[in-house]
Structure 1
Amino acid sequence: MTRRGWEAARPYVLVPLILGLLLLLAGRRSGWLGVLAAGGMLAFFRDPEREIDRLPDVLYAAADGLVREVDEVYDPAMPGGRATRISTFLSLHNVHVNRSPVGGTVEEIEEIGGGYYPALFKRSEENRRNRIEISGSRGPVVVIQKAGLIARRISTWVEAGERVESGGKLGLIHLGSRTDVLFPAGTAEPLVGPGDKIRAGLTPLARYEEPR
């Protein structure tokens, strides 16, 4: 586990671990439940190293999980406001570290308030979220980290003005939710569809079309 991963995981690990140890010292076998819960939290906040390919005409997955939908939405950062959006659902067993789909410069990070609906509900569109706008060589790309029902927290590890590599770590969503990747409509062909399993930094999400 990395230092940043441990900083995010610490309260989730130490509380059940300490309670479990206290119960065990008091002769209560139920303390093992706390120890097991702490181990589960450590596994959840894992941050494995990955060999990242960096093909310049490919956008890579920003999250591990299951593609929920591929659609067109409005986004003010996109030319004409038209964006292709690829949404990924992160379950509790997925790695929750988000990675940049492209190399570029972080132009803006915006924290947007909202609710905490389960990621599979339509109203999760309105959940609390962080919007990270990246200026890539082929145009803007936006990554939206959405908080979920349980922990309701997002850790962002980059700042505006920072240079990121394709597959570079952007942050972490605590205990499951959803990550959206947006890019200008008509500039790249999606390579995944609903139901596909993807891995951050490894799975090609879309391929840019050749300029006409």
Structure 2
Amino acid sequence: MSIADTIRKTFVPIHREGYPFIAAFAAATLVLALLSYTLFWIGLILTAWCAYFFRDPQRVTPVDDRLVISPADGVVSAVGPAVPPRELGLGGSEMTRISVFMDVFSCHVNRAPVRGRVIRVEHRPGKFLNADLDKASTENERNGVVIDSPNGTVAAVQIAGLVARRIVCWTEAGGNVGVGERFGLIRFGSRVDVFLPPNAAPRVAVGQTAVAGETVIAEFGGDVAAPLVTVS
């Protein structure tokens, strides 16, 4: 491996959304250095964590319209039927929901689970409950992106959490999005729900680790659903 490859693997790119936060942490660290050597090291560690939080690594996304790709890094926290939020305009019937929970150490750049035309983007204010709770889907602040994919309508819902207080979405209704394409970010610990039509079969289980833009979480036209619990 060349030196250039080693550097690229070691130093992951930082998303521009993180620059103001990293700068603020670094400035605070300089102030703390004037007060205490111990506080300086605490500030330095927090600054490093902030830079790590806003990392934006390259991902290799499977190119197959039959596959649904994870929109977030984290742990699969729910797989099963659920009624999508009303503002998405998907009706009151249950759809297959797959939830990925991101903690404060996860990469928080969100990626499109499928390709297609974005037909709706809806933001709703709400509470800031623990995003790992099931009721966070309907009660927490959230932003929904509805995509008209080659295999049906798919929705990705960014959900704010107990610590996360800011949802960023870069895509707009009327545009096209590619599978694995970056569409948003949540600060600082949260969850993304994916709502799928009946012709999509889950390919992950609760407790499984998912990687945004790479992990296959469902498949269109599949016959066998994934178990709802992790098999030990």
In structure 2, what residue type is equivalent to 1:171?
G
Gaps of 5+ in 1: none
1:89 aligns with 2:101: yes
Tell me the TM-score normalized by structure 2: 0.83
Quote the Cα distance in structure 1 between the aligned partners of 2:74 and 2:205: 12
Partner of 1:117: helix, strand, or coil? coil
**Matched residues in 1 for 2:152 and 2:76: separation?**
23
Within a 5 Å distance, the mapping from 1:40-79 to structure 2 comes to 40-75=49-84, 77-78=89-90
Matches within 5 A, 1:41-190: 41-75=50-84, 77-78=89-90, 81-125=93-137, 126-184=139-197, 186-190=198-202
The secondary structure found in structure 2 opposite 1:71 is strand
* TM-score, normalising length: structure 1: 0.90
Show CA shifts across 1:107-152 (max 9, x none): 1110011100112234423110001101101111000000112231
Code of the aligned partner of 2:31: L
CA contact (8 A) 2:164 2:190 kept: no
Query: Which 5+ residue runs of structure 2 have no aligned equivalent?
Result: 1-11, 223-232
Task: Give the match's secondary structure for 2:43.
Answer: helix
Contact 2:108–2:186, Cα closer than 8 Å, also in 1:
yes
Matched residue, 1:35 = 44
**Maintained 8 Å contact 2:199/2:221:** yes
Q: Percent identity at matched positions? A: 34
1:208 aligns with 220
2:128·2:161 contact (CA, 8 Å) conserved in 1? yes
Distance in 2 (alpha carbons) for counterparts of 1:45 and 1:38: 11
Partner of 1:158: helix, strand, or coil?
A: coil
- Tell me how many residue pairs correspond in the alignment: 206
CA RMSD of aligned residues (A): 1.9
